[in-house]
Structure 1
Amino acid sequence: MSDQEEFEVEAIGVEVNVQPIELYKVLKIANVVNGGGEAKHMISEGYVGVNGELEQRKRRKMYDGDVIEFNEEYYVVICDTPVGELPEIEEKPQFIPIEPEYTEPKPKKAKKEKKKKQKSEIPTTIDPESGRRSINFF
């Protein structure tokens, strides 16, 4: 027998639209973690295996056919697009702003004069020792 044992397992397919894709993203797409932070934590703590080996690199590149083991479940990466190609995206018409023709500026309204706040009728006193004014709360 060879030093690598092959065995057959039932795996859940995780369809992705681009390859390579990072390991933590595959766990998010498979919906086995609540978010990217949790996925990265699980990977770095050693709870994830890839192709039969323990994997602790969060951004390990995954390709079509790679098998991931997590929480006693197996997942296989499925991708139809070739390596490095981005999936075809329908091109949307781009919005190009058109400058309006020159128009006369609108006349500005006259500004109202602001009334200056009148200081309280009680004169403020200056403390001769510190040179500070007294504080009136009411």
Structure 2
Amino acid sequence: MNEEYIEIELEEEPIELCKLLKVLNLVEGGGQAKNLITEGYVGVNHEICTIKRKKLYSGDVLEFDGEFFQLSLSADAIPAEKPAVQTHTEPKPAVSQPTVQPAKSKRKRTKKPKVDDKTGRRPISFG
């Protein structure tokens, strides 16, 4: 894979992925950016990324529309700490304990006559 990178200097980090697409004028608006990210048209660090507000730092590579963008930090900017990479671990099976739900008290309704004796109409209930 021989890619040419377009270098992008960040004045502050992190920057959200959808905002970066807007700043670079790669999309017309935030809604379009979010749709393209959700549909899998954007890559971060050579992997498809579907996280709209993914935080990008200097050193990350953005791929969009066949172009590669290398993010770097400007000389006068203060670098932010990049969070540790989270590894996907298998969730521990939950210990099934019977859950006791409080008994719901049923409200007893009095039966209303179906037809009013005087008018011959049915009563209207709003409750």
TM-score range, shorter chain: 0.5 to 0.7
Secondary structure of 1:58's aligned partner: coil
Residue in structure 2 matching 1:20, options 5, 8, 14: 14
- The aligned amino acid for 1:43 is I
Deviation, structure 1 residue 36 = 1.4
**Could you list the runs of 5+ residues in structure 2 that have no partner in the other structure?**
82-127
Deviant stretches of 4+, over 6 Å: none
**Alignment RMSD (CA, Å):** 1.7
- Residue 77 of structure 1 deviates from its aligned partner by 1.4
Question: Could you list the per-position Cα deviations for residues 21-61 of structure 1 after superposition, in whole angstroms to 9, with x for gaps in the alignment?
Answer: 10111111211111111111110110001001110001111
Q: Is the 8 A contact 2:73 2:79 kept in 1?
A: no
User: Which amino acid letter does the alignment assign opposite residue 48 of structure 2?
Assistant: L
Once residues 24 and 59 of structure 2 are traced to their aligned partners in structure 1, the CA distance between those partners, rounded to angstroms, is: 15
Within 5 Å, give how 1:100-119 maps onto structure 2. none
The separation in 2 between residues aligned to 1:38 and 1:59, in whole angstroms, is 14
Contact 1:14 1:26 in 2 (8 A): no
Matched positions, count: 79
- Quick one: which of 78, 84, 109 aligns to 1:82? 78
For 1:74 and 1:58, locate their aligned partners in 2 and report how far apart those are by CA, in whole Å.
Answer: 18
Task: Please give the secondary structure, in 1, of the residue aligned with 2:71.
Answer: strand
Q: Distance in 1 between matches of 2:21 and 2:72?
A: 13
| Deviations, residues 106-133 of structure 1 (Å, cap 9, x unaligned) | xxxxxxxxxxxxxxxxxxxxxxxxxxxx
Specify the SS of the correspondent of 2:63: strand
Contact 1:13-1:75 at 8 Å conserved across structures: yes
Partner Cα separation in structure 1 for residue 6 and residue 47 of structure 2: 18
Q: Which residue of 1 aligns with 2:5?
A: 11
Identity score, percent: 47
| TM norm structure 2 | 0.57
1:62 aligns with 2:56: yes
Which is greater in Rg? 1
Change (3 A) 1:41 1:9: same
TM-score by length of 1: 0.52
Looking at structure 2, the residues matched to 13 and 32 of structure 1 have their Cα atoms a distance apart, in angstroms, of: 15
